[in-house]
Amino acid sequence: MPPDSTPRLTTRRLRLRRWRLDDFEPLATFVGDAELALYRTGAPLDRTAAWFFMCAQLGQWDARGYGIFAVTLAASDDPIGYTGLYHPIMFDEPELSWSLFRGHHGQGYATEMATAVIGWAAADLRLPALMSYVHPDNQSSRRVADRLGARIEGEASYMGAPRLVYRHRLPADAVA
C-alpha cells in the first residue's frame, strides 16, 4: 500500500481520514441504499459500482492532492459517512460534498464535518470559496448548506437531475 499522505482532520466529535479496505462493506451498503441514493445519484449502486466509487475516492487524492474523507465518530473507527472535495474531470472546480450513512442523520454531523473541510481547504490548500451541488428537493442538504452560510449562486444539472449551486463563504481567518 502506498504511503498515506491524506491529512487527518479532527472535530469535537468526528475524525476525517483516508478510506481503507475495511470501509468497503459499510460504503457499499450506503451507496446501495435506494432511498439514500435518491438525491445523490438517483439510483443505488451495485457492489461493482460501489468498488469503483471507493477506488475513485482514493485515486482523487493522488490525482488532485485532495479528495473525499471517510468520516468516523471520535470514539470509533467505523465510518458514518463521507465529506471532502469531489472534483471529477467534468467539474471546473472542486465540490464540497457530504453524505451520512443511515442512522447518523439529524445530529449535526454533516455541518460539523463540512465545516472542517471548508477550514482545511481555505487554510491548507488556499482554495477559493467552494461550491456544492444540491438537489432542489434535498431539504436536509439544503439546510446543511444554509447552516454553513452558503448562498444559492445558480442552477445546474448533474447526472441528469437539477441541482442548486451553492457558494460557501471562506472562514474569516483564512482570507488572505
Q: How far apart are CA 160 and CA 156, in angstroms?
A: 10
CATH code for the part of the protein at 9-127: 3.40.630.30
* Helical pair 139-147 and 109-123, crossing angle rounded to 10 deg: 50
Q: Where are the domains of the chain?
A: 9-127
**Among 86, 66, 68, 63, which Cα is nearest to 19's?**
68
Low-confidence ranges of the chain (pLDDT < 50): 1-2, 175-176
Q: pTM to 2 decimals? A: 0.92
How does pLDDT run across 120-170, given as a tens digit for each residue?
999 999 999 999 999 999 999 999 999 999 999 999 998 889 999 999 988
Share of the chain above pLDDT 90, in %: 85
